């Protein structure tokens, strides 16, 4: 089932990033870029956002990616969702510029945040997954 989780990552660009601070969960819809080895998600935010402040306090996150992004209105197949556990990782300046350039090429809709003076690119290292294929079939493992 790890192959199915990897397919979901490759075929989508939207995720829900779930952070936590002081016992308060917080979810954000995000666009991501995927590393070549399929083990790291790159995300962009602002330094003053709640999600980024939460990451600095608690680097453990949950990330949800699912198959709804490509479903038509009459689709009958199961929605496949994968919930990943992961760890926030800041990026070196050299890597930040490379990832920002990749975001600019692949996601022109993010131009405003990419050009924002307070924007920051960061990584989430994926560590484990729980895959649901419809409402019942499940598989989990380390990533």
* Residue 28: both structure tokens together: 């954000």
Tell me the C-alpha to C-alpha distance, in Å, between residue 6 and each of 27, 40, 86, 126, 128: 22, 11, 15, 11, 12
What is the mean pLDDT for each group of 10 consecutive residues in the chain (143 residues)? 87 96 96 96 97 97 89 70 97 94 96 96 97 89 87
Domains identified in the chain, total number = 1
- CATH number, residue 47: 2.30.110.10
Question: What residues make up the domain containing 112?
Answer: 2-142
What's the pTM?
0.92
């Amino acid at each position: 089932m790890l192959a199915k989780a990897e397919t979901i990552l490759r075929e989508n660009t939207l995720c829900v990033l779930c952070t936590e601070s002081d016992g308060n969960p917080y979810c954000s819809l995000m666009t991501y870029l995927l590393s070549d080895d399929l083990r790291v998600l790159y995300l962009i935010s602002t330094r003053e956002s709640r999600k980024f402040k939460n990451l600095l306090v608690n680097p453990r996150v949950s990330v949800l990616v699912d198959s709804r992004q490509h479903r038509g209105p009459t689709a009958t197949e199961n929605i496949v969702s994968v919930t990943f556990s992961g760890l926030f990782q800041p990026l070196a300046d050299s890597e930040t510029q490379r990832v920002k350039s990749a975001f600019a090429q692949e996601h022109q809709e993010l131009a405003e945040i990419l050009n924002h003076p307070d924007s920051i690119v960061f990584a989430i290292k994926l560590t484990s997954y729980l895959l649901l294929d419809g409402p019942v079939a499940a598989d989990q493992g380390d990533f």
